[in-house]
Structure 1
Amino acid sequence: MASTSYKSRVIIKEHTAEQADFAGTYNLLLAAKSIPSPASPPNTVESTTMEDPQQTFEKGIKTADSRDITGNLAKEYLENIEKLGDKKVDIIHLYGTDGIGGVAKYAYTGTVTATPNDVGGVDEILEMTATVIPSTASELVTDKLKVVDNNDGTFTVTVVG
């Protein structure tokens, strides 16, 4: 069954070395309007020789470019991200209309910065972008983590099993 993007979210918490399993209390990064994929396809490395009748490729490594998450400009989200500075954060992408990642969850660690977007003209909604720079590979954790929406802007994440 297909799902819509309604209630897809990105949540974050400050990373601690002793809490490497992504459990803890998270905050909504921002009320997102667009969320890029947390995972990327692998590069392809050409392996063609003069003996091959067509090009051949081998699977390479995955790239991990920065990810821009866009939302409406809100002082609360801008300030919360600014307070993090260059600290590492745990990041979880939640997909599914339940708001807690019922369809898919991806987790990784990185840093995040926020900036207001350019204003293109009159009569526009002001937007902001949270730029996430991953420092670990994203991991599919749909069945490994349970997320509870505390209905106050925070989320409790526990490890299943």
Structure 2
Amino acid sequence: MASTSYRTRVIVKEHTDKQADFAGTYNLLVAAKSVPSPASPPNTVESTTMEDDQQTFEKGIKTSDSREITGNLEKEYLSKVDGYGDKKLDIIHLYGTDGIGGVAKYAYVGTATATPNDVGGNDEILEMTVTVIPSTASELVTDKLTVVDNNDGTFTVTVVG
């Protein structure tokens, strides 16, 4: 069954080297208006020779560019992200209308910075962008993690099993 983008979320907590399983208490990164994919397709590496009558390719490595998450400019989120500074964060993208990743969950470690967006004119909603720079590859963790929305702005993430 197809799902809408309603309640797609990105949640974060400060990373600790002692705990690499992504369990813990998370906060909403920003009330998002747009969320980029946490995973990217692999590069293609051309393997064509002079003997081939058509180009051929091999699967290359995946790229891992920064990701820009857009939301309304709200002091709470701007201050929270600014407070992380250069600290490493555990980051989880939650997909599904249940708001807890019922369709898909991706987890990775990275850093985040927030900046107000340009203002284009009168009568606009002010926006901000949170730029996430991944330092590990994203991992599909849909069946490995359980997420509970505590309904107070926090989320409890536990490892299945």
Q: Please classify the TM superposition score into its range, dividing by the shorter chain length.
A: over 0.9
CA shift at 1:6, angstroms? Answer: 0.4
- Is 1:78–2:78 an aligned residue pair? yes
| Aligned residue type for 2:33 | K
Q: Paired residue for 1:106?
A: 106
Deviation at 1:140, TM superposition (A): 0.2
Deviation at 1:112, TM superposition (A): 0.3
The percentage of counterpart residues that share the same residue type is 86
For 1:19, the equivalent position in structure 2 comes to 19
Corresponding residue number in structure 2 for 1:152: 152
Residue in 2 aligned with 1:6?
A: 6
C-alpha deviation, 1:141, in angstroms: 0.2
Alignment-mate amino acid for residue 23 of structure 2: A
Aligned length: 161
> TM-score, with normalisation over the residues of structure 1?
1.00
Structure 1: tracts of 5 or more residues without a match: none
Where 1:78 maps in the other structure, the secondary structure is helix
Q: 2:87 is matched with which residue? A: 87
Distance 1:56 1:128 in 2: 42
2:52 aligned with 1:52: yes
Structure 2: tracts of 5 or more residues without a match: none
Deviations 1:89-138, CA, capped at 9 Å, x for gaps = 00000000000000000000000000000000000000000000000000
Aligned pairs (5 A) from 1:114-133: 114-133=114-133
Q: Give the 3-state SS of the residue equivalent to 2:5 in structure 1.
A: coil
Instruction: Measure, in 2, the Cα distance between the counterparts of 1:151 and 1:40.
Output: 31
Cα RMSD of the aligned pairs, angstroms, is: 0.3
Q: Which amino acid aligns with 2:52?
A: D
1:53-73 CA deviation, whole Å, 9 max, x = no partner?
A: 100000000000000000000
Show the counterpart of 2:39.
39
